[in-house]
Amino acid sequence: MKILIRVSYLGTNYAGFQVQKNAVTVQEKLQDAVESLYGVRYPLTGCSRTDSGVHAKDFCCTIEAGADCERIPFEKIPDALNVRLPKDISVFEAFLMPDDFHPRYSVHFKEYEYLIYNSRKRSPFYEGRAFQYPTELDEFKMDRAADMFRGTHDFSAFMSSGSGVSDTVRTVKYCRATRNGREVRVTVAADGFLYNMVRIIVGTLIEVSAGKIQEQDIPVIIESKERGRSGFTAPPEGLYLNKVVYR
């Protein structure tokens, strides 16, 4: 039996999602809760690997559970897990899925959101939850440049080294930048993402705003496949997995 749970979490206190030997992760805490609930440490598979400090509003996992788990109605699973989870991790839905469903490979697209707190003055409410950038950003320039990422491209220029990925072609459904007061948000949806792809896109858009990279240079940078031509890697605390859509 395969149970899909939808989870939200603040990643500040965790070394990413995936279990690690010498660090606390979100997956470990979820597995602890599942084991406490069912008495068995069932396998738990996530839809993505989020880095240390990255957050999620909608993260999907499957629990490969035994038939005896049917004793707990699916609508009660979120509450049953939440009382066993720390306050910065919450399960908000649970569903029974077919055996051939995979939380990663069955994805149609994912949407990430990057939050920038655009102010010189520090705010405790954004600490660990947004990238504080003191220089005034031009969200209109950023948005025009962001739209140039749409389509199917080789995004090698927007991938950090060490990922070990050979297939670097991805399809971006949309990419945009918006402002609401001091908050500037970059939203990107794609069928998949390379290592640090969104954070490098954000860093590139910030450099477009600063005039270090020209808007019209984005297609040239993509075509070059050279990491050294794109912008800096924005820090992890502003990144949120916002939405996961399945086929």
Residue 193: CA count within 13 A, CB half-sphere: 26
Q: Select the more confidently predicted residue: 162 or 154.
A: 154
Whole-number pLDDT of residue 166: 84
127-133's contacts with Cβ under 8 Å and 24+ in sequence apart are 128/10, 128/12, 128/53, 128/237, 129/10, 129/12, 129/55, 129/237, 129/238, 130/183, 130/237, 130/238, 131/202, 131/234, 131/235, 131/237, 131/238, 133/184, 133/206
pTM of the model: 0.94
The mean pLDDT value of the chain amounts to 95
- pLDDT tens digit sequence for 183-211: 999 999 999 999 999 999 999 999 999 99
Active site residues: 51
